[in-house]
């Protein structure tokens, strides 16, 4: 009986929505999402499509007046080239180590430390760590070449010689170490800021509850803080992977892909060299575009993998509001 009433009431309430309401159900979301969609369209999709189109041609300085459609030839060339493997490996080394050691690892450690010491000390420390980011890249890179220069100039050598390590030009001896460290010290600050604010945003009751429940500092970090900042971590990992994949300015300034044959040449630098700064003056736009297109694909694959690994769908709760 009671059930019947409820059903009847429901039916009575289910009025056909008017066309106005239906239109509004479309226009309201469009109004809010529209500007962002437009930006993505203009600055991401169109360039990507242009890049892919160019990558299907033989466009270069030599052929600029007579561009031919060459199909997948540029991709075939990349696939067959022996350099490709080397560049790919370099890219993995560069992105992998900078990301794990600095952009995420060091950033996490620093934000955890600076949120567990007195507030003022922590803030001061973080501010200092931001200095390289506001230093012009060229100056920052030159400073690193000075740091690592051979005796009698390099500071690194002066620190290490008391330990019996022979002075050398570190940029030549350990190019990866220097490239990763130079990038890392700048890259760390981004994650550090995001993680610090995420840690500060954890309601204090959770941390108190963890203390009362008997957690040591490390246990509290592992079981309470890290799970609660999983989303910012995913964001930083994804964002920094993509920006590292695309970034090459410090490598360009420090080693320019050397020393020697492609020792520190990463994918984006390779694309740059091929497409925009060829030594022989024959700039190959088509080939470079193909390289760039592959980079985009690698980036998309990486993002998808991250979303899976971090179980993104678990983190996103069902929306609490179902009508707009």
Partner 1 sequence: MEVRLERLSKHFGSVVAVDDLTLHIKSGEFVALLGPSGCGKTTTLLMLAGIYRPTGGEIWFGDRLVNDVLPKDRNIGMVFQSYALYPHMTVFENITFPLKLKKVPKEVMREKAQRVADMMQIGHLMDRRPAQLSGGQQQRVALARALVKEPDILLFDEPLSNLDAKLRLTMRGEIKRLQHDLDITSIYVTHDQVEAMTMADRIAVLRDGRLQAFATPDELYNRPRNLFVAGFIGSPPMNFLNARLTAQNGQAIVEGNGFRITLPEDLGRKALSQAQREEVIYGIRPEHIRLDPDGEVEAEIYVIEPLGREDLLDCRLPDGTLLGVLVPSGHGVKIGEKVRLKFQLDHSQLFDPHTEQSLLWN
* Cβ at position 314, least distance to partner 1 in Å: 9
Q: Which two tokens stand for residue 285?
A: 């736009």
Question: Closest CB to partner 1 among 48 and 207?
Answer: 207
E strand or H helix that includes residue 317: none
On the CB side of 171, how many CA atoms lie within 13 Å of its CA?
24
Restricted to residues 105-124, the positions that interact with partner 1 (CB under 8 A) are none
Cβ nearer to partner 1, comparing 131 with 211: 211
Q: Which is nearer to partner 1, 85 or 218 (CB)?
A: 218
For 41-169, where are the alpha helices, taking DSSP H only?
46-55, 73-80, 83-97, 107-116, 119-129, 131-134, 137-147, 155-160
Identify the DSSP state of 45: I
Encoding tokens for residue 150?
A: 């051979």
Q: Is residue 191 a contact partner of residue 238, using CB atoms and an 8 Å limit? A: no
| Cβ nearer to partner 1, comparing 214 with 281 | 214
Question: C-beta of 109: minimal distance to partner 1 in Å?
Answer: 21
Nearer to partner 1, 69 or 223 (CB): 223
Does 259 sit behind a cis peptide bond, omega within 30 degrees of 0 on the bond before it? yes
Which residues ranging from 290 to 319 are in contact with partner 1 (CB under 8 A)?
317
Count of residues touching partner 1 (by CB under 8 A): 18
Which one, 115 or 255, has the nearer CB to partner 1? 115
For partner 1, the binding residues in 223-252 under the rule CB under 8 A are 223-224, 227-228, 230
CB atoms within 10 A of CB 192: 24
Tokens of 13: 């309430």
What is the closest distance, in whole angstroms, from the C-beta atom of residue 209 to partner 1 in the complex?
A: 4
Q: Least distance in Å: CB of 217 to partner 1?
A: 10
In the complex, least distance from residue 202 CB atom to partner 1, rounded to whole angstroms: 11
Smallest gap from residue 123 Cβ to partner 1 (A): 18
Distance of CA 157 to the CA centre of its chain: 32
Q: How far apart are CA 11 and CA 4, in angstroms?
A: 11
Binding mask 189-228 for partner 1 (x = CB under 8 A): --------------x-xx-xx-xxxxxx--x---xx--xx
What span, in angstroms and rounded, lies between the C-alpha atoms of 147 and 143? 6
- The contact set with partner 1 (CB under 8 A) reads 203, 205-206, 208-209, 211-216, 219, 223-224, 227-228, 230, 317
């Amino acid at each position: 009986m009671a059930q019947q009433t409820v059903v009847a009431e429901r039916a009575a309430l289910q009025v056909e929505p008017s066309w106005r309401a239906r239109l509004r159900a479309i226009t309201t979301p469009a109004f809010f999402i529209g500007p962002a969609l437009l930006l993505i369209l203009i600055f991401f999709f169109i360039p990507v499509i242009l890049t892919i189109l160019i990558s299907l041609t033989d466009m270069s300085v030599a052929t600029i007046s007579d561009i031919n459609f060459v199909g997948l030839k540029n991709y075939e060339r990349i696939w067959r080239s022996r350099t490709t493997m080397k560049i790919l490996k370099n890219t993995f080394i560069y992105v992998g180590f900078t990301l794990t050691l600095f952009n995420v690892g060091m950033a996490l450690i620093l934000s955890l430390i600076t949120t567990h010491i007195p507030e003022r000390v922590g803030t001061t420390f973080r501010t200092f760590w931001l200095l390289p980011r506001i230093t012009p890249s060229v100056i920052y890179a030159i400073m690193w070449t000075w740091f690592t220069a051979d005796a009698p100039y390099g500071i690194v050598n002066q620190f290490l010689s008391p330990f019996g390590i022979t002075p050398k030009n570190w940029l030549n001896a350990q190019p990866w170490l220097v490239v990763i460290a130079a990038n890392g010290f700048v890259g760390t600050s981004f994650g550090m800021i995001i993680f610090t604010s995420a840690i500060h945003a954890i309601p204090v009751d959770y941390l108190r509850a963890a203390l009362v429940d008997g957690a040591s500092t490390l246990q509290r970090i592992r079981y309470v803080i890290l799970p609660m900042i999983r989303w910012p971590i995913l964001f930083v990992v994804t964002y920094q992977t993509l920006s590292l994949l695309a970034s090459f300015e410090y490598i360009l300034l420090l080693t320019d892909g050397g020393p020697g044959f492609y020792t520190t040449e990463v994918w984006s630098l390779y694309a740059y060299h091929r497409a925009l700064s060829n030594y022989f003056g024959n700039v190959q736009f088509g080939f470079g575009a193909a390289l760039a297109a592959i980079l985009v694909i690698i980036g998309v694959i990486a993002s998808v993998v991250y979303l899976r690994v971090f179980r993104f769908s678990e983190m996103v709760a069902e929306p609490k509001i179902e009508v707009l």
